[in-house]
Structure 1
Amino acid sequence: MMAFDFLRYSLTGAAVSFAVMAGAAQASDLPSKKGAPPVPVVPSVVWIDAAFNAKVMTDYNFRGISQTDRKPAVQGGVELQFYDNLFYAGVYASNVDLATKPPAEVDFYGGIRPKFGPVTFDFGVWQYYYPNEKQFIDTFGVYWTPKNTDYTEVYGKVSYNYEDKLTVGANVFYAWDWLGTGAQGTYASVTAKYALPFLEGLSVSGEFGHYWLGTTNLAIWSTVPATDLPDYNYWNAGVSYTWKNLTADLRYHDTDLSKKECFLLTADPRGVNNGTASSKWCNPTVVATLSFDITASSLGVFSAK
């Protein structure tokens, strides 16, 4: 813990050094006398905090694929943060419209975010939970989805912030049972965000990622053979404006998946019912999002000690 204290509060140490030098300059006006050593300033620590988030968006797009059949979504979550956000755990929820018809997606996650100056790491685990879902079976008795599409990811992230203007990052996520299909899934991406200088709170950002997906487990579907799922590229780019606790974001999302490949990944019921075996859930789209973020410490609920 002491190592994190030193790294986390290096700026505080610089401020202390400045204060000591200022004190020495004032002392030079007095008769020469050996003074007492300066009293060290102990950096304050927020031992526990809570971050709250709420969003409304025109479409819930996750890695290039609509999770709400191109319809709006309402999301919200709470994250508990410990020791100046070094450790964290949270829950997040959203409405969805998927082939297995769960009423919502509920995510549970936790991890650690060590910070070394402008570099921040993030390592954790994320559980995707879809309550009360039903296996999608057509009128001919063909099983199009697993009974249970819950799955778990582990992840690692790193980001570098340059003078609070430019932030670049890299991320890797791994699932050993992607959407309950038995296929492995690895998603890796690079991100960048730049704060525009002419208006405070305005920024542009983007992401480029690649999804490596494996082969489904034959045991999942009794009437569907094991299938090699298609890998694909995903990218987004957009502009956002933050004012106090509100952020408005307008973002373009796209993939290189064909409509047939998209259907293979989503089992879009529309592609089953109309006999086309295709889906538009992976097509290019523009999503508008309005989000609200606040922490308990900003309200004075938790104070630094």
Structure 2
Amino acid sequence: MTHSKRLAAVACAALLSVPFMASADDAAESPISWEVGAVSDYLFRAASQTDEKPTVQAGLTWTSPVGLYVGTWGSGVDFGPGDPDVEVDFFVGYGFDVSEQVNFDVLLNRYTYPGASELAYNELVTTTTIADTWKVNVSYSNDVWNSGTDGWYYGIGGEWGLPNEFSLSANVGRSTFENGVAEDYTDWGVGVSRGFGIANVSLGYYGADGNGRDNFGKLADNRVVLAVKIAR
């Protein structure tokens, strides 16, 4: 994938692309959690990673009793002719309760692309969860999109219960870049979801501001995304 293609599609641990996590009760029963699912479009910070096409995704995580965890997550991608066709992320992290109302999590994610190893890069992701409702995300890469320059992401999102076991979620984020690798831009999303046992179905509407559309073209147009995932 060329650098210009990288600007048109980026990659897992963001507010719009977080792997579907097992419930706290499941985590207490087993240190291993997993998820499999399908999405109508794989978005990363409002940019399609699959050329606006559906794909399958899967992940596996081991969590220790003290909050340390390691895992991997994968998805199909489509950046144009040739490799890569798959993204595989490897991550290690640690989460702990700051207080009864606040949890802090720090994760180091390695984005890799089999068949295009030169595109791999790292990102440090921090997430602060407040009252089990609000999430504040700050992420940093010293080699964003394998460009050799710094990139930051700042995001805030929330989730609220609705009648009949539905949930409403919303988020907004800001990506900033050094050395003109891309224009700073804002992404946003709003969605509804419902759980059915170990399955979850969500429908969301996502988009980016004018700078985001300048960066990624039609891949950052406003769009509806359907996701169906099973996790345990």
Q: Which residue of 1 aligns with 2:206?
A: 253
SS of alignment partner, residue 220 of structure 2: coil
Matched, 1:130 2:100: no
Q: How does 1:63-142 map to 2 (within 5 A)?
A: 63-83=45-65, 86-99=67-80, 101-115=83-97, 116-133=99-116
What CA deviation, in whole Å up to 9, does each residue of 1:85-134 have, x standing for no partner?
x111110000000146302000000111102323211012000001112x
Matched, 1:288 2:226: yes
What CA deviation, in whole Å up to 9, does each residue of 1:138-189 have, x standing for no partner?
xxxxxxxxx8221100121111126xxxx01101010000111112110010
Matched, 1:174 2:133: no
SS of alignment partner, residue 218 of structure 2: coil
CA contact (8 A) 2:160 2:168 kept: yes
The CA deviation at 1:73 is 1.1
Q: Which residue of 2 aligns with 1:150?
A: 120
Given residue 183 of structure 2, which amino acid in structure 1 is its aligned partner? P
* Distance 1:78-1:228 versus aligned 2 partners, 3 A rule: closer
Q: Which residue of 2 aligns with 1:231?
A: 184
TM-score normalised over the length of structure 1: 0.63
Q: By percentage of residues, which structure has more strand?
A: 2
CA distance in 2, matches of 1:235, 1:46: 33
What CA deviation, in whole Å up to 9, does each residue of 1:233-269 have, x standing for no partner?
0000000001110100000110013587224xxxxxx
Query: Could you list the runs of 5+ residues in structure 1 that have no partner in the other structure?
Result: 1-44, 134-146, 216-226, 264-278, 295-305
TM-score normalised over the length of structure 2: 0.82
CA distance in 2, matches of 1:95, 1:247: 20
CA distance in 2, matches of 1:288, 1:48: 29
Let me know the Cα RMSD of the aligned residues. Answer: 2.0
Number of residue equivalences: 204
Q: Percent identity?
A: 28
CA distance in 1, matches of 2:213, 2:203: 28
CA distance in 1, matches of 2:142, 2:227: 31
